[in-house]
């Protein structure tokens, strides 16, 4: 199992950052390889959604379920299907803003990707999660209409 751990400080209120990472439909905004999120249902523990994710040139489909949910503190999502993974979002107040830690534990789908591409995919995923957490920061800090428009957010 591979583990990626990233953290970042966000100059934005804890409740806004949590609401952003708690909305699966927003994942297409911040996670570069997520191609689609669909059939979002429920909230809190038991919330579900389906997704399509591109890894190593392959499109993989699966379903995610929220298995732990403490508002403004923690969200844990288990994904099954094309990629089995566990996503842990941990948040806490930090200097008037929010400290976000994202840990992703996953199994590389070797049957689809292949052993030769595994190291490449693992390195790429690490870089991608780094870009993803930075994108969450950018989007949660966007305040002006110009910033929001530049990021493709609703003005």
Could you list the pLDDT tens digit for every one of the 155 residues in the chain?
889 999 999 999 999 999 999 999 999 999 999 999 999 999 999 999 999 998 777 788 999 999 999 999 999 999 999 889 999 999 999 999 999 999 999 887 665 566 666 777 788 889 999 999 999 999 998 766 666 565 555 43
**109: number of Cβ within 10 Å:** 19
Domain carrying residue 57: 2-148
Residue 31 belongs to a domain: yes
- Which residues does 127 contact at the CB level (< 8 Å), separation at least 6? none
Residue 127 belongs to a domain: yes
Residue 143 belongs to a domain: yes
Number of domains in the chain: 1
Of 42, 18, 13, 38, the residue nearest 28 (C-alpha)? 38
Residue 123 belongs to a domain: yes
Q: At what angle do helices 115-141 and 14-21 cross, to 10 degrees?
A: 140
Residue 62 belongs to a domain: yes
What pLDDT sits at residue 76?
A: 98
Chain centre to alpha carbon of residue 78? 12
Residue 66 belongs to a domain: yes
What pLDDT sits at residue 87?
A: 97
- The model carries a pTM of 0.86
What pLDDT sits at residue 26?
A: 94
CB 87 within 8 A of CB 104: yes
What pLDDT sits at residue 155?
A: 39
Residue 153 belongs to a domain: no
Residue 155 belongs to a domain: no
Residues 122 and 105: their CA atoms lie apart, in Å, by 11
What pLDDT sits at residue 31?
A: 93
CB 52 within 8 A of CB 59: yes
What pLDDT sits at residue 152?
A: 57
Q: The domain that contains 59 carries what CATH number? A: 3.30.530.20
């Amino acid at each position: 199992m591979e583990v990626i751990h990233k953290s970042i400080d966000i100059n934005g209120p804890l409740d806004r950052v949590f609401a952003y990472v708690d909305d699966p439909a927003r994942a297409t905004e911040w996670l570069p390889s997520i191609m689609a999120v669909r059939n979002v249902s429920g909230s809190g523990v038991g919330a579900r959604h389906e997704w399509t994710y591109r890894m190593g040139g392959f499109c993989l489909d699966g379903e995610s379920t929220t298995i732990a949910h403490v508002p403004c503190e923690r969200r844990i999502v288990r994904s099954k299907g094309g990629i089995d993974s566990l996503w842990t979002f941990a948040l806490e107040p930090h200097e008037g803003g929010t400290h976000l830690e994202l840990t992703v534990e996953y199994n590389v789908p070797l049957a689809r990707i292949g052993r030769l591409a595994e190291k490449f995919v693992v390195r790429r995923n690490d870089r991608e999660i780094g870009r993803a957490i930075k994108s969450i920061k950018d989007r949660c800090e966007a305040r002006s209409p110009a910033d929001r428009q530049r990021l493709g957010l609703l003005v």
